[in-house]
Amino acid sequence: MNDSDIILLIVFPTIAIIILIMAIVLGLIKSSRDKVKHLAELAQIEIAFQKELREADIEVGEFLRNQFARELHDNIGHTLTYMRLHIENGKLDNPESEVVFQPIESLLDDASNQVRMLSRSMNSDYLTQVGFTYAVKMECDRLQKASGIEITIQEGEVELIGQQKDRELMAFRIFQEIITNNIKHANATKLDVILNLNSTILGVVDNGKGFDLQATLSSNKASGIKNIIKRAQLAGFSCLVHSAPNQGCSYKLNIN
């Protein structure tokens, strides 16, 4: 066996081994890429599934709100009107009792207005007709009368959401949830509401007792805040929450 035969015996197996190693490496790389792609697809499927669940939950919630809004308007509203008619008849039969009926009439008028405003705030059809900004102002007026909390509104000149009805409705429901959290937990006496200012669609700042935000988010007691953040993400908004004990709380809903 000469030198060239020996070289061939060494070179060809070496090349074969190198090719085999490269094939194995390329196979592992491809397998790794396929696995990453598969995991990404699974993650997208999970996101889509969660979005579908969330949208279904919202649709059910809106259906129930609309049903309740109609019940308020048709049943309680009509009952208050019927009571008002009875009072009017009583005043006709006994003119001297008009002074007695005056405070009752005033309370009935206030109750009728509150029922009407509450019914509208729960009716998604009405809200999409009047638009986000007007709906928030209407809700602020209702809450101020019902709770006694002082509410101020700072408003920009341009509607940031435009005519995107689904996003308008979602932003309004987020506002309602923020206010619900505030009334239940903050003990605030004043709210500052920001509408369509710079990139902020909605801002709510209170002077309440505040809380440890990180501790609350990591606990099982933050369902309200987590729900607000999830709703915002679903609608394509970002939601910034800031709070600290004795420093109130602020929410900002921005366009991404």
pLDDT of residue 181: 85
Tell me, yes or no, whether 116 and 16 share the same domain. yes
* Enclosing H/E stretch for 155: strand 150-155
> Number of structural domains, the chain?
2
* Percentage with pLDDT > 70 across the chain: 79
Q: What's the pLDDT tens digit per position in 171-217?
A: 888 998 898 888 888 889 999 999 998 889 999 999 999 888 888 88
Q: Which of 55, 89, 122 is the last residue of a domain?
A: 122
Tell me, yes or no, whether 105 and 189 share the same domain. no
pLDDT band at 33 (very low <50, low <70, confident <90, very high): confident
| Average pLDDT, integer, range 154-170 | 81
Tell me, yes or no, whether 136 and 220 share the same domain. yes
Q: Are β-strands 190-197 and 249-255 bridged in parallel, bridged antiparallel, or unpaired?
A: unpaired
pLDDT of residue 126: 79
* Residue 202, domain CATH: 3.30.565.10
Which amino acid is located at 62 in the chain? Answer: E
pLDDT of residue 30: 75
d(CA 174, CA 242): 16
pLDDT of residue 86: 75
DSSP string, 120-148: HHH-HHHHHHH-HHHHHHHHHHHHHHHH-
Tell me, yes or no, whether 69 and 168 share the same domain. no
Please report how the helices 77-93 and 98-122 are oriented relative to each other, as an axis angle in degrees rounded to 10: 170
- Work out the mean pLDDT of the chain and round it to a whole number: 78
Q: Model pTM? A: 0.63
| Average pLDDT, integer, range 70-75 | 65
Tell me, yes or no, whether 85 and 142 share the same domain. no
**Residue 60, domain extent:** 1-122
Of 26 and 144, the one with more pLDDT: 144
Q: Which of 122, 147, 166 is the last residue of a domain?
A: 122
Tell me, yes or no, whether 98 and 22 share the same domain. yes
Tell me, yes or no, whether 114 and 137 share the same domain. no
Q: Which of 100, 122, 144 is the last residue of a domain?
A: 122
* pLDDT > 70? residue 42: no
d(CA 88, CA 78): 15
| Average pLDDT, integer, range 53-65 | 57
The secondary structure of residue 101, as a DSSP letter, is H
pLDDT band at 47 (very low <50, low <70, confident <90, very high): low
pLDDT of residue 153: 94
Of 156 and 34, the one with more pLDDT: 156
Tell me, yes or no, whether 31 and 77 share the same domain. yes
